[in-house]
Amino acid sequence: MNLAVIPARGGSKRIPRKNIRPFAGKPMIAFAIDSALASGQFDKVIVSTDDGEIADIARQHGAEVPFMRPADLSDDFTPTVPVIAHAIRTMMDLGLAPELVCCIYPGVPMIDADDLRKAREHLLGSQAQYAFPVAPFPAAIQRALRRNAETGNAEPFSPQYVNTRTQDLEPAYFDAGQFYWGRRQAWLDGLSLHGHGTTIVLPEWRVVDIDTADDWARAEILYRAFATSQSQ
């Protein structure tokens, strides 16, 4: 079976209650749930949370919450892989045996169900342990500058590329931070996501990292533009 796990703890610090705060008219976590269900890739879509309100809202939007996440996996420093491994082990204790497991983050309003399908197909066609989306950096990282906070003076991180044309530099990508498909044993063995993964590429404009109020406002503008373009 294929399992979607949405890890959504209740203790968001930078944007309080971020995972269930209304975004463009519905709780943020609903975008992850809706895309997982719409993709048709999952036998079950579950939410791993330590928070009763999040659990109730997740159920209202079609996800299951078959267990509550323990406190030792719900602090600010808990990595993703142990949370998903805990969910897998708990589901196995309940008599289920997921083979492919997809971690979908709860703060991803720009997620697209087609990307979930494409990444799964890409994983199955590879020898990799994980598959996840990346996006290109908007500028060449080889031309990045170091800035002195006191004087404002700048210097290149990589002086050897100062005179190289940007079109001649190797493209670089960043993790889109939306979801990770993985083979069950990879999660259980604690394999690193980036060290054992293959990728699909998303357009940079469809990737948003929401950590501040300004990020939130920008994301809503992008989402509404995206939603409008999809409906035309």
Q: Tokens 């170091």 correspond to what residue? A: 146
Q: Give the model's pLDDT for residue 231.
A: 64
Close Cβ partners of 26 (under 8 Å, ≥ 6 residues apart): 61
CA of residue 5 relative to chain centroid, distance: 11
**The model's pTM:** 0.94
How many Å apart are CA 196 and CA 185, to the nearest integer?
A: 12
Residues in the chain: 232
Helix 28-39 and helix 52-60, axial crossing angle in degrees, nearest 10 = 40
Say if residues 140 and 172 touch (Cβ distance below 8 Å). yes
Contact 200, 131 (CB under 8 A): yes
What is the reported pLDDT for 168?
95
* pLDDT one digit per residue (tens) for the chain, 232 residues: 999 999 999 988 789 999 999 999 999 999 999 999 999 999 999 999 999 999 999 999 999 999 999 999 999 889 999 999 999 999 999 999 999 999 999 999 999 999 999 999 999 999 999 999 999 999 999 999 999 999 999 999 999 999 999 999 999 999 999 999 999 999 999 999 999 999 999 999 889 999 999 999 999 998 988 777 666 5
CATH class entry, domain 2-134+174-231: alpha beta
- CA count, 13 A, side-chain hemisphere, 199: 16
> Which sequence spans correspond to the domains of the chain?
2-134+174-231, 138-171
